[in-house]
Structure 1
Amino acid sequence: MDARISKTSEIESRPANNLLRRLNAADYALLAPHVAVDDVGASHLLYNPGDDVQVVHFPCGPSLATFLVPNEDGRDVETILVGREGAVGGIVSEGFLPAYTRICVKFGGPFARIHVGRLEAAKARSPSLRNIFARYADCMLAQIFQSTACNAIHSIEQRTAKWIIAAMERTGDERSVPLTHEQLATLLGVGRSYASRVLQSFKAEGVLDTRRGSILVRNHDGLRLRACLCNDAVKLHFEEVLRGVYPTEEPESHAS
């Protein structure tokens, strides 16, 4: 029993990021001396397109990062959200590569970070560590594929509900999401007025309410009924490939 308590205590002492907590004790020990945690504010820019990716960032707790793709009319379109289930920047690359998208902080809070070179050195020493990050990269790619399909076939209303649920699951707050109308419009790739009309229809149906700078969820079942199943598909793939990392429950202990 003491050994199990010690194992649990060791995992809980790590930054509150499910991917880092999914690592076994030996693999995390390779990273721990080089991991730092900073509080990062909302809208902080982590990478611009073309920047050399030198640091891997791990959102912790309620923190959330987003990938934005700029288009020719000057608008950014958000593609995926990354929270405590993952990391952004240099996940599987060997050495330094330029960023393709803009990556910024959606919801501020603690972010763990490690230099890409330190991570690469640790992966070179541990096949199991390399395997975990390769599996996470597969999960991220699945999320991108699902997002592409979702944008092509699902309604704005379905996608609105999906994004709100995705944000709630990643932050762990089932009552509110610190999301403005403008931010929601960017997530959906639509104008602010369109996003506001969708929110008004959800309010009229008693599904949610809005406050300055946030969305309050009143009816979780109603919200899920209005969402597409894209979140569920991504969640299922995470559970098949990297069980215990997607933030629907506490990650399992793998510190043996």
Structure 2
Amino acid sequence: MMRNRLLAALTGDDRQSLQLCMVDMVLPRGLELSLPNDPVEYCYFPTAGIISTVVVSPKGNQAEIGIVGREGMSPSSAVSGVDRNPFRTVMQLDGRGWRIRREDFLRNLEERPSMRGILLRWVQAFSCQIAFTALSQSVHNVDERLARWILMCHDRVEGERLALTHEFLAIMLAVRRASVTNALHVLEGNGFIYSQRGVIIMRDRAALQAFAADAYGECEREYSRLFTVQSQAVGVP
């Protein structure tokens, strides 16, 4: 459980209480964890892989608003007691994690104020990510936005390989696949990444981060601010 930073930040008693209600499971890429406006049955705490949170319009248009890896849980709306939302959550990269029924999760939050405090910090962190995604979609070009998403995905995996398909990248950026291809060519041409079918390999993260400029970093700093104390207490980097 310590591989998930939220679970690691909990007290031992809080973590044990949750674990009694949890199931450790494989989360393969493409697995849909929740659908728009359907009742949320489970909450997930990934220990590997990436969950994509996608907003879906009534006409079926989609755009990614946030991602969750081992630093958090999904859906964040469950923390406030909301039983459904207009989002689709799906595994973007193969992973593993802990699953808990929403009612068991809410019962623990109600009974354990210290746990609720940690999870409310996560709601703030994820809300910040959504806000900066909206800002980036408004003011940054496609190349910078792609650099941001690649950096965010790289933060949440081990190693340099990212199994990101053009389809998912198009949803991330809310653009056509042709625009994804063009943006990948720009990043690859600059030596930041190497791109092949369904896989992106990080080559020069520092240069990619410099290229992304202010498209990347603010929500990461907010997460660090919110969780530094807890992370240091449990030895999580």
TM-score by length of 1: 0.85
Among 203, 209, 215, the residue aligned to 1:224: 209
Retained in 2: the 8 A contact 1:65–1:83? yes
Counterpart of 1:182? 167
Give the SS at the match of 2:97: strand
Retained in 1: the 8 A contact 2:144–2:215? no
Give the SS at the match of 2:120: helix
Counterpart of 1:168? 154
Tell me the CA shift for residue 122 of structure 1.
1.4
Distance 1:150 1:244, change over 3 A: farther
Separation (CA, whole Å) in 1 of partners of 2:35 and 2:187: 34
The number of aligned residues is: 234
Separation (CA, whole Å) in 1 of partners of 2:33 and 2:2: 19
Among 216, 219, 222, the residue aligned to 1:234: 219
Retained in 2: the 8 A contact 1:15–1:112? no
1:195 is matched by which residue type in structure 2?
V
Give the SS at the match of 2:38: coil
2:30 is matched by which residue type in structure 1?
S
Asked if 1:201 corresponds to 2:201, the answer is: no
Separation (CA, whole Å) in 2 of partners of 1:231 and 1:170: 14
Asked if 1:17 corresponds to 2:4, the answer is: yes
Retained in 1: the 8 A contact 2:125–2:223? yes
Distance 1:241 1:190, change over 3 A: same
Counterpart of 1:110? 96
Separation (CA, whole Å) in 2 of partners of 1:196 and 1:169: 22
Asked if 1:151 corresponds to 2:131, the answer is: no
Counterpart of 2:22? 35
Asked if 1:56 corresponds to 2:43, the answer is: yes
2:197 is matched by which residue type in structure 1?
R
Counterpart of 1:67? 53
Separation (CA, whole Å) in 2 of partners of 1:152 and 1:122: 39
Identity %: 24
> Which of the pair has more CA radius of gyration?
1
Among 115, 120, 123, the residue aligned to 1:134: 120
Superposed CA offset, 1:205-229 (max 9, x none)? 2221112210112222221111133
TM-score by length of 2: 0.92
Q: Which runs of 4+ in 1 moved over 4 A?
A: none
Asked if 1:45 corresponds to 2:32, the answer is: yes
Separation (CA, whole Å) in 2 of partners of 1:87 and 1:202: 30
Give the SS at the match of 1:242: helix
Retained in 2: the 8 A contact 1:34–1:118? yes
Tell me the CA shift for residue 72 of structure 1.
5.3
Separation (CA, whole Å) in 2 of partners of 1:228 and 1:69: 26
Separation (CA, whole Å) in 2 of partners of 1:139 and 1:195: 27
Separation (CA, whole Å) in 2 of partners of 1:115 and 1:228: 40
Asked if 1:252 corresponds to 2:232, the answer is: yes
Give the SS at the match of 1:88: coil
Counterpart of 2:79? 92
Retained in 2: the 8 A contact 1:15–1:37? no
Gaps of at least 5 residues in structure 2 are none
1:45 is matched by which residue type in structure 2?
E
